[in-house]
Amino acid sequence: KSTLLRCIADVYQKDDGKIYIEGFDNSTNEARSEVFFLSDAPYYSGNSNAKETMQFYSSLFDLDETIFESLISKLSLPLDRKISTFSKGMRRQLFLCIALSMKANIILLDEAFDGLDPLVQDVIKEEIIKNSENKTYLISSHNLLSLERLCDNFIVLSKGRCTREGAQEDLGKNFKKFQILFTEEVSEEQLIKAGVEVVSYKKIGSIISLVVAGINDAEIIKEKFSPTLFENVVLDNDEVIKLEMLMAKKGENKMAYHISVFLENTP
């Protein structure tokens, strides 16, 4: 994720391919003026205070100081304290204030909410939502819960590949989770052989916690294995993103298997 954002912002030079921003190659001044990238480890001088750091970034990028001062006030950050005395969370808050004060139309935020408490997250999210009609925010995160009700669309990246994308409400839509008790032992292999699209299989005591992705999987399980207990379980957002990544890995393994078989059978 970080590599992709750095490539978009032209921090990293591309080995191949093209990235266009508003019709301009991302290496041009026209494209760069449209983008501000906040990395997960932004530059700062430990001897400077919050205001001096803002002024440094303002000398390099088009920044609205009025918005910056408003955000700093909302978060109660000290303007005259050295950043070297800030906690990790305070530093992150400061740089988010700087990023959200930028006049650029595209704001790239790498691990935006890392280290922030829920109340601070709410302030930042409120500011993002308030300006979302005029700007595009591309946010990377391992924590889906922090992005809940904030993002319109999502992309799941695994090993440098886009493995899933869509509208936020579609995330995890195909997954169904069940708690099942069988009269006899039923293994994951048996379920797969019966045509069940197993995403996750866990056995806790005699209960099986099963996540599937097939449309008719519930009917197949009931018809072929006659469980004595079969309950639907609601998936939380953290589970959903883990399952999306698990599906991506399973897809990669399947692809690697097919390539291997093809090579073995090729003269």
**How do residues 106-136 score in pLDDT, each as one tens digit?**
999 998 888 888 888 888 998 888 888 888 9
Helices (H), the chain: 2-8, 29-32, 50-60, 65-75, 88-100, 118-131, 144-147, 188-193, 217-225, 237-264
The residues near 206 (Cβ < 8 Å, ≥ 6 apart) are 181
Output the pLDDT for position 247. Answer: 73
The residues near 183 (Cβ < 8 Å, ≥ 6 apart) are 226, 227, 228
Sorting pLDDT into bands at 50, 70 and 90, what band is 223?
A: very high
- Contact between 104 and 62 under an 8 Å Cβ cutoff? The reply is yes
Range of lowest pLDDT (52-66, 100-114, 144-158, 247-261): 247-261
In the predicted structure, residue 259 carries a pLDDT above the cut 50: no
In the predicted structure, residue 255 carries a pLDDT above the cut 50: no
Q: How far apart are CA 217 and CA 166, in angstroms?
A: 23
| Exposure string for 109-138, b = 16+ CB within 10 A, e = fewer | bbbbbeebeeebbebbbebbeeeeeebebb
Output the pLDDT for position 257. Answer: 40
Q: How far apart are CA 199 and CA 103, in angstroms?
A: 43
State pLDDT tens for residues 187-218: 999 999 999 999 889 998 999 999 998 889 99
In the predicted structure, residue 267 carries a pLDDT above the cut 50: no
In the predicted structure, residue 224 carries a pLDDT above the cut 70: yes
Output the pLDDT for position 219. Answer: 94
The pTM (predicted TM-score) of the whole model is 0.71
Helix (H, G, I), strand (E, B) or coil at 62: coil
Q: Stretch 10-27: mean pLDDT, rounded?
A: 91
State pLDDT tens for residues 62-102: 999 999 999 999 999 999 999 999 998 999 999 999 999 99
Output the pLDDT for position 239. Answer: 78
**Rounded (10°) angle between helices 50-60 and 88-100:** 40
Enumerate helices (H) and strands (E) in the chain, giving the number of each: 10, 11
